[in-house]
Structure 1
Amino acid sequence: MSSYSNWNTFEEEEEEEEEEQDASIEVDIAERDNVIFAVDATLPMHETDENGISHFSGALRCAARFLQNKIVQSESDLMGLVFFGTNESHNEQGFKHIYVQYDLDVPDVDRILDLEKLANNRDKVSTEIGSSDDYSLAEVFWTCSNLFSAGGQKVSTKRIFLITHNDSPHTGNLTLQRNARVRAQDLQDLGISIELFPVEIGNNSFKFDVFFQDLPGVVGAGEDSAEVPASASRKYEEMQKKILRRETKKRTTFRVPLHLHEGLTIGVKGYNLVLEQRKGNYTYLDRRTNAEVRTVTTWACSATAQSLLPTDMKSYWVYGGQKVVFTKSEVNGIKYFGDPGLVLLGFKDRHALKFKYNVKHAAFIYPDESEYTGSTSVFAHFLERLSIRGKIAICRLIARRNAAPRLVALLPQKGCVDKNGDEIPCGFHVIYLPFEDDNRRIPASTASQISPEHTDLAKEVVHSLVIKNYDAANYENPVLQKHYNNLQAIALRRDFAEEIDDTTLPRTEAMHKRAGDRIRDFKQALGEQEEDEVVVEQPKTKRVKAVDGGQKRSKSDVDLSESAFRAKCKDGKLSSFTVAQLSEFLLSKDRKPAKKKSDLIRQIEEYFEA
């Protein structure tokens, strides 16, 4: 029998009567994410890329960046660091050529600073730990398993980030390879996953199918895996991007049974595709001692000032001017609409789902075999038939115990790979539909009729300002950037916080070039007087003294065409452009610009090389 009726037992405690929380609350919020970086320290990893950064140093920089983000996002998660293929040994088991740099612990500032120093000091690494090819991958897995056991976290996810260039460890030694597979199977049985981040050195390509394809527990290995392994990296920036992409462990929003018909039920689990990122909560401290204070809430009777317990209180709502009193059990009965579940009600054509029906962000569901065996097969057939027939499923969703029922539409999505090489998952979008009570009646507009001439001019203005290939990933929240940059600067004892690149600011210069004439024509057609001069705000820059009596060239006279950028790139003179101009060019090519000028120049050079 399913245990979904007992899901989220913490909801039994009565809360203040506020707006009902929706299904976007993550049920696994108490889970800790435990990650151990297992980094290959053999000699090939110390070779440098085209930017002069060794692959080993790049891995350490990624680990430092990973720690910084963990401090911001989830400071209760744990992280450890293990080197293998070292000359020196440092571990409790006494295994040779394995060096435990950090035990599993919460991220802190000292560890980040130590990692950054270690990444920038190649001589210290080579002298203190050295390199050796005589190691056992099975013993590396054993060491990581013991570190997880010492952590003592019962409710947690456990992952090993394996960074190596060797696609076939222990070539020719079947015993060591067999031991590695046995130990990897033990890790999988313990719920520990291995996420491989391969490194390509020189002209040697990393072949995933040689050894790691058949290694148990490796993400992307096996025919039934729902994920794909990370592609090989040649540079530090590529490795960092892939590690940060897997930084946040996916946590389910809800796990419920999907009742397709009487006697036919499968399990599904839902995830949030979009969730607003907010600043963390601050903590109150005693002003005199800096000790953390504890918040205590007490209830008192307004008439007698006597302290009350939760069992001494009732709730009431006002109806018709009267107070209607309810006990706690009566309130729970009112809130109960059934056990958590997703019930199929019927089907509609896909075109019947209008954009205006999105009352909140959608969820995404996958099959879940943990409660109902065979769910994946039924789910796949259900998805396939709806996709072929162009239908959507209308369902009733109760995401958790005591949650309000919602009408939802299941929109099928077949898996594929997009133009950027990113995998689009296969599953259903859960679109929350409005009730009749949610609809708003908009009064008829009393605005005067607009002439077709004015309409056409307005359309030209809009079309000229359309952002081509808009991608939300190119726009970071400036409030969060500034907040965390300042926190990080203070915590890491740095003199200045990094300047943020506020991509939400309008690019007035580019907008004026693209639509200035059309805006002027539109204003003239409306009878508005055109200003004598259009003032374009520019960031304050340091004045540069002209050489040999020449005059400084105006920014508006600079040729910003693609041919001009190509010519400057060929001559190695891209630095003559400003950061804003370089960023504008990259955005026009659907590429996310970096923050530093040197990185922007490198991005443009890579664009023309491609």
Structure 2
Amino acid sequence: MELCLILEKILCTMLSGQLRSAKTVDKRILLFTNDDDPFGSIKGAAKSDMIRMTLQRAKDAQDLGISIEILPLSCPDAVFKISQFYADLIGLEGDDLVDFMPEAGKKLEDMKSQLRKRMFTKRIVKRLKFTIVNGISIELNSYALVRHTEPGAVTWLDSVTNRPLKIERTFICADTGAVVEKPTRQFLPYKNQNITFSMEQLSEIKRISTGQLNLLGFKPLSSLRDYYNLKPSSFLYPSHEGTDSSMCIFIALHRSMIQLNRFAVAFSGSSSRPQLVALIAQEEVIQSGSQIEPPGMHMIYLPYSDDIRLVEERYSDTSGMVTKASSDQIKRAADLIKRVDLKDFSVCQFTNPALQRHYAVLQALALEEDDVPEMKDETLPDEEGLARPGVVRAVEEFKTSVYGENYDEENEHGIGKPTEASKKRKAMVEFATTECKQYDWGELADTGKLKDLTVVELKYYLTAHNLPVSGKKEAIISRILSHMGK
């Protein structure tokens, strides 16, 4: 009964002209249901009349260009029988009837995937003016496809009013101790004298380009190396604020680059670091009626010649010869790689354990829970898998081929003498461990006195526990609290 009323209401709206808008491109009715017989509770002639009326309403809707799609929501202990009623509603028969349920399941999963993707708004990082030649330029939007996710910043509150504290910075003269009121200046040493700069002069010196994107030329895709990548690429797409001619220019370039297997080399101007970039055209990929990859261009940030490091220089001996592995060592390594193969690997399978730990601690504090929820670290090695006989045998054979049969792992860690850097690192860890024992970190965390320590003192804890020491003071304190489970 309700299905018939829904179809009738849609038809009335359609006939009244409310849906005859120029913006309405695709008219569809999506029916989500777990009831394969909507008129099962009606008996006799009334049921036949309702079925006939509903099928007629569906036919009228299809005649008006409205497509009807059924998305069955089957219960775990029941099977949705499409032939019970809905096969006649949407006109399924033969092979289409047999293939409907698997296809509907894929379509539902695809819709859920698309919904999750739409939850993350594609925000424009910046707008660029792409100058191709003099007089021809287009407006492009830049999007970040990959971005490192950071935990929320710590906000310091007043202990009395519980209001956020405002941070102010004051410069004090080292000689007189007076507060410096005039604008500060910076200096750089040059030939035994200090050359001073104002902030405006320093900004002007660093300003090399106007911040636009200028085309330099085109190169074959085969000349682009994998290691020509300084950071995650950006995705470029024409701005909606541009003209139709700008879109035509972009489409013509995009399709020509794909046909000729070429990429564009451009100069991306920036006040801080102007860079050479490679623009690689990406074709649109559509699967099962859904867009998997959009059309556009990837902007890859290329290194300068000063940025490239030759690995061979670090691993060569005094004679300049590069150390090479024997054929047996290569074979044993290949056997080990085959044994420890990750099936169906995807970065989407792994979540950031530090971020998950941070939110778990935050949840426990917010809900006043006694215990912090245990988080599964998906980045830890598979101990059970590595303990399989085939893997253990491959590891032992590889170690024997590299170190020999008489290698004593307990007395010899690695090959050669420890470097100066490793000695310095070991001394720093020992010093930090000694200094760390002088503080009651648990009491400092409970009383909120960690903020009274200096950054150097806080780093004693991080170094002693082999934690990253980078970041501002707030990030360091947050890292310490997360490690302590506070």
- What TM-score bracket applies, with the shorter chain setting the length? 0.5 to 0.7
How big is the shift at 1:292? Answer: 2.1
Aligned to 2:121: 249
Aligned to 2:201: 330
How big is the shift at 1:255? Answer: 0.5
Aligned to 1:458: 333
Tell me if 1:430 matches 2:299.
yes
Gaps of 5+ in 2: 39-57, 70-102, 409-486
Q: Please say which structure displays the higher CA radius of gyration.
A: 2
* Distance of aligned partners of 1:421 and 1:463 in 2 relative to their CA distance in 1, 3 Å threshold: farther
Aligned to 2:9: 170
* Distance of aligned partners of 1:174 and 1:351 in 2 relative to their CA distance in 1, 3 Å threshold: same
User: Which of 357, 371, 390 is equivalent to 2:261?
Assistant: 390
How big is the shift at 1:369? Answer: 3.4
* Distance of aligned partners of 1:199 and 1:518 in 2 relative to their CA distance in 1, 3 Å threshold: farther
> What whole-Å deviation, never above 9, does each CA across 1:344-392 have from its counterpart, x for those lacking one?
0011110111011111111110111314442222111101111111111
* Distance of aligned partners of 1:457 and 1:177 in 2 relative to their CA distance in 1, 3 Å threshold: farther
Rounded to whole Å, the distance in 2 between the matches of 1:169 and 1:364 is 45
How big is the shift at 1:521? Answer: 2.5
Cα RMSD for the two superposed structures: 4.0
- Count residues in correspondence: 339
User: Which of 374, 380, 404 is equivalent to 1:527?
Assistant: 404
Rounded to whole Å, the distance in 2 between the matches of 1:420 and 1:454 is 49
How big is the shift at 1:242? Answer: 4.4
How big is the shift at 1:304? Answer: 2.9
| Structural mapping, 1:597-608, within 5 Å | none
How big is the shift at 1:280? Answer: 1.0
Residue 192 of structure 2 aligns with an amino acid whose one-letter code is: G
* Distance of aligned partners of 1:169 and 1:243 in 2 relative to their CA distance in 1, 3 Å threshold: farther
Asked whether the 8 Å contact 1:523–1:529 carries over to 2, the reply is no
User: Which of 392, 397, 416 is equivalent to 1:516?
Assistant: 392
Residue 229 of structure 2 aligns with an amino acid whose one-letter code is: N
Asked whether the 8 Å contact 1:409–1:430 carries over to 2, the reply is yes
SS in 1 for 2:231: coil
* Distance of aligned partners of 1:171 and 1:43 in 2 relative to their CA distance in 1, 3 Å threshold: closer
Tell which has more relative contact order, 1 or 2 (C-alpha 8 A, sep 6+).
1
> What whole-Å deviation, never above 9, does each CA across 1:163-207 have from its counterpart, x for those lacking one?
xxx7x793222379744677x97xx9xxxxxxx9966213699x9
Rounded to whole Å, the distance in 2 between the matches of 1:247 and 1:432 is 28
| Structural mapping, 1:406-555, within 5 Å | 406-417=275-286, 423-442=292-311, 443=313, 444-446=315-317, 449-492=324-367, 497-513=372-388, 514-525=390-401, 526-528=403-405
Rounded to whole Å, the distance in 1 between the matches of 2:168 and 2:306 is 38
> What whole-Å deviation, never above 9, does each CA across 1:470-511 have from its counterpart, x for those lacking one?
210001001111211232344356665543221101002213
User: Which of 282, 285, 292 is equivalent to 2:157?
Assistant: 285
User: Which of 365, 368, 375 is equivalent to 2:246?
Assistant: 375
> What whole-Å deviation, never above 9, does each CA across 1:292-331 have from its counterpart, x for those lacking one?
222111222223333334x522222222332111223322
Rounded to whole Å, the distance in 1 between the matches of 2:407 and 2:33 is 61
Asked whether the 8 Å contact 1:197–1:239 carries over to 2, the reply is no
Asked whether the 8 Å contact 1:414–1:426 carries over to 2, the reply is yes
Rounded to whole Å, the distance in 1 between the matches of 2:289 and 2:225 is 28
Residue identity (%) = 26
Asked whether the 8 Å contact 1:197–1:232 carries over to 2, the reply is no
SS in 1 for 2:10: coil
Rounded to whole Å, the distance in 1 between the matches of 2:204 and 2:119 is 41
How big is the shift at 1:287? Answer: 2.8
How big is the shift at 1:259? Answer: 0.8
How big is the shift at 1:235? Answer: 12
* Distance of aligned partners of 1:394 and 1:237 in 2 relative to their CA distance in 1, 3 Å threshold: closer
TM-score (norm 2): 0.60
Rounded to whole Å, the distance in 1 between the matches of 2:240 and 2:68 is 25
Rounded to whole Å, the distance in 2 between the matches of 1:298 and 1:518 is 62
* Distance of aligned partners of 1:312 and 1:522 in 2 relative to their CA distance in 1, 3 Å threshold: closer
SS in 2 for 1:387: helix
Residue 210 of structure 1 aligns with an amino acid whose one-letter code is: I
| Structural mapping, 1:394-405, within 5 Å | 394-398=265-269, 402-405=271-274
How big is the shift at 1:435? Answer: 1.0
* Distance of aligned partners of 1:419 and 1:471 in 2 relative to their CA distance in 1, 3 Å threshold: farther
Asked whether the 8 Å contact 2:31–2:68 carries over to 1, the reply is no
* Distance of aligned partners of 1:498 and 1:469 in 2 relative to their CA distance in 1, 3 Å threshold: same
Residue 385 of structure 2 aligns with an amino acid whose one-letter code is: A
